[in-house]
Amino acid sequence: MNLKNYLSLFLMLPFFLLQIFFVVPSSAASAPACAELVKSKCLSCHLETRICQKVKKRKGKSSWKSTIKSMVRHGADLSKPEQKQIANCLRKPDSEVLEFCGMKK
């Protein structure tokens, strides 16, 4: 390699470092917030009151997983990652889901 090639690599190094340290992984960037996912997927079939009654019961993860699998069998359009995320969101609702349901954390 000559000096020109080394200089080019040296000048490009900061851009590569920025991409490594500051770019959000695509899987994390594409996952919607819990409340957004619940609203977009659950409200298409259920009333808000129905969803929130179930959230207030504090069902466990396995209970939510079986409930969601049943919904998928009845036609709910949920990918496997969405099923897992919704089960986690409803089992341990974040502040946005609690606010959606009129609950305080």
Domain ranges of the chain: 33-105
* 33-105 to CATH, choices 1.10.760, 2.40.160, 3.90.550, 1.10.1790: 1.10.760
Distance CA 93, CA 32 (A): 14
pTM of the entire predicted model:
0.64
Segment 21-77, tens digit of pLDDT: 555 444 445 667 999 999 999 998 999 999 999 999 988 889 999 999 999 999 999
- Both tokens of residue 1? 């390699």
Q: Are 34 and 96 in contact (CB under 8 A)?
A: yes
Give, as one character, the DSSP assignment of residue 59.
-
